[in-house]
Amino acid sequence: MSSRSSGAAAAAAAPPPPPPGRPGMSCRKTVEKWKGHIIRQLRRRDKCQHAMFRDVIQRYSHLLEKTTFTKGLLHSAARLPSGDSGVSVSDWLSQNKDLKEITGELAYQVVALQQDVKTRECVLQNQYSRITELRCRLSEAEAEQQNLESQITQVQEGNCVLKKEYDALLQRHRVVDETFRQEKMRGCRLLEEMIHWKKQAAAHMNNCNERRSRAREANIQRELQTAANNPVNIDLSVSPVNEIQDKPERRQTRPFRSASATSPRILNSIKELFERKRRGSSVCGVEEDLVSRVGVCVAARLPVRALHVLEAHEQGINAVKFSTTLLATGGTDRLIKLWDIKAGMLHHRGTLDGSTEGITSIEFDPVGMRILAASYDKSALLWRLDGSVLQVTLTGHSRKVTSAKFKCGLHQVVTGSADRTVKLWDVHRAACIHTIAAESYCSDLVCCDNCIVSGHYDSKIRLWDTRAATCSQELPAQGKVTSLDICPAQRQLLSCCRDDCLQLMDLRRSNPRLCFRADGFKCGSDSTKAVFSPDGGFVAAGSADGAVYIWNVSTGNLEARLPDQHSSSISAVAWSLSGDYVVSVDKSRRAILWSDI
């Protein structure tokens, strides 16, 4: 049995025969190669599993030793002769019995050890499978790690790009901030220079006024001195009336009498002198305290045709207004142009500049000596027509000024603005007297006796009591109010709204009276102006379709529609004080003179 096992082991250990047709050297190398591979595998297995099977190997070695010892005893017992030996049969049987017990115990231990080996092999197989699973998970984790590393690399590269862009933007921000700071300082310097120039201009104007006042005083004193030193004798023997009747062809002569300090002419001169002294260096002259007589329009005439069409400004026209002798237009080009009406045509008379942005409204004073304008540059401006030089600038609003009107005189001005305030100004001091806080964007306003009426974007018309500076009443409108106008008798108020409607209100009863609508009429913008005729019998407004619509106040019917001249939305309409002419202006720089002549 041992020879067979040894032979099989030798056969297993012997190298396989070399394949036919190959030399012996290649066979030897092949044998050495697979032998070395087997040895490496065994060493690796021994290194991995030696500690795991150490106890089994030790027990197996101990069992082999006991088996060898038992085999030796049995062999020795088999060689003993039956009678020659010194050992008795009973001793031998007892020893044989002990050996059998030892052999059974050892066989039992061998079976237990084999079962333990199988168990340990199952555990080892499970560990192998777990190791394989863990290796798969490890490979997946390594792949995910590589993916994450690549993502981290991309994110870092993107962060580097964003960092460069941020640094560039930060540098640009610093440059822009520095430019803004320099421009702000420059603006402050320009504002200081402008204030300084205005102070110089005001001082120069005051000096000129003072020089003129001193010259007038000197002239009056000379006249007084001359009148006191040179008396005139009057011959009373001849009656001037009889002389004139007898000799009509003879030139009439004015009778003189000796001048004295009690002469009415001298007294009037002295009174005028004291009035000038009392006014001091005011920007208003004596003629501004007088109210010139204005011709009353008995009945306005409906215009039927266009007399003159011209491009009045370089940009859109926002406002138009008549005085007794002049027409004024204001546009987005920051200019106010003055026009005369001669032979049915508009003739340019002069230009008023000084606004830094577009003009929103125009108003003449009651005597026609000055013109007041509201501007997008958050201010109201005042010019004298005789000098065409900007006289006063009223600044204080935070947004554009939409309307500026004289308040029942020449020395106070009321302005409405998009900053939701209405301000009352003293023209003498160019200072704000009072500020009224409104609840909405103020689009237009008008003034009557002790009341200011303002129209707002919240579809309300507010009446302000100037004595208490409070809102005395709120009147509802049909929509967002774009303009207001008051009739010559100051009893009716006309409002134009964004819902394509003109509303007439009775100020005495504070209730709506009429609503004017027409097919095709549309309010073209948030600043469309509607006006009364000078006799209060008609109302006129321009439409978005380029036509002028005129309604009768008494009946509420549409009296006239003047089409086919404007190419864009009409922004404002004005009616001459004589009632003979109507002028309409639009956003495309066009002004049209209408009449029935």
pLDDT digits (tens, 9 = 90+) for 166-213: 999 999 999 999 999 899 899 888 888 888 887 888 788 778 777 877
Beta-bridge partners for 570: 586
Beta bridge partners of 331: 317
The pTM of the whole model exceeds 0.75: no
Paired tokens of 184? 């702000």
593, 548 contact by CB (below 8 A): no
Handedness of CA 62, 65, 67, 73 (dihedral sign): negative
The HSE-up count of residue 308 (CA atoms within 13 Å, CB side) is: 18
Rounded-to-integer distance, Cα 424 and Cα 397, Å: 12
CA–CA separation, 455 vs 420, rounded Å?
11
- What kind and span of H or E run contains 219? helix 89-229
Q: What's at 114, amino acid-wise?
A: Q
Across 431-555, where does the E strand assignment appear?
A: 431-437, 442-447, 451-456, 460-465, 470-476, 481-486, 492-497, 501-506, 511-516, 530-532, 538-542, 548-552
Q: Give tens-digit pLDDT for 144-179.
A: 999 999 999 999 999 999 999 999 999 999 999 999
Nearest 5°: the CA angle 324, 325, 327 is: 95
Going from the C-alpha of 202 to that of each of 32, 286, 382, 410, 429, the distances in angstroms are 120, 19, 14, 19, 11
**DSSP H or E segment with residue 416:** strand 412-417
pLDDT in tens, the chain (597 residues): 334 334 433 343 444 555 544 555 666 667 778 888 888 888 888 777 777 777 777 878 888 887 877 776 666 655 554 544 455 656 656 666 776 777 778 788 888 888 888 898 899 999 999 999 999 999 999 999 999 999 999 999 999 999 999 999 999 999 999 999 899 899 888 888 888 887 888 788 778 777 877 888 888 888 888 877 776 555 444 443 333 333 333 333 333 333 344 444 444 545 454 444 444 433 344 344 444 344 456 678 899 999 999 999 999 999 999 998 899 999 999 999 999 999 889 999 999 998 989 999 999 998 888 999 999 999 999 999 887 788 899 999 999 999 999 987 778 999 999 999 999 999 988 889 889 998 899 999 999 877 899 999 999 999 988 776 678 888 888 889 999 999 988 889 999 999 999 999 888 776 677 899 999 999 989 999 999 999 999 999 999 999 999 999 999 999 999 988 898 999 999 999 989 999 999 999 999 999 987
Cβ within 8 Å of residue 248, ≥6 positions away: none
Per-position b or e across 160-187, b if 16+ CB within 10 A of its CB: eeeeeeeeeeeeeeeeeeeeeeeeeeee
- Beginning with the edge strand found earlier in the chain, give each strand of the sheet holding 390-395 in spatial order: 359-364, 370-375, 379-384, 390-395
Distance CA 22, CA 432 (A): 122
Q: 305-595 domain in CATH 2.60.40.1930?
A: no
Domain ranges of the chain: 54-76+92-220, 227-247+255-289, 305-595
**Listed residue (380, 437, 366) closest to 413, CA to CA:** 380
pLDDT of residue 36: 84
Separate counts of helices (H) and strands (E) for the chain: 6, 28
Residue holding tokens 């006063």? 392
Q: Hey, what amino acid is at 374?
A: A
Per DSSP, the residues of 72-107 read HHHHHHHHS-TTTSSS-HHHHHHHHHHHHHHHHHHH
Place of tokens 């190997």: 57
Cα dihedral 542, 547, 548, 552, rounded to 10, equals -110
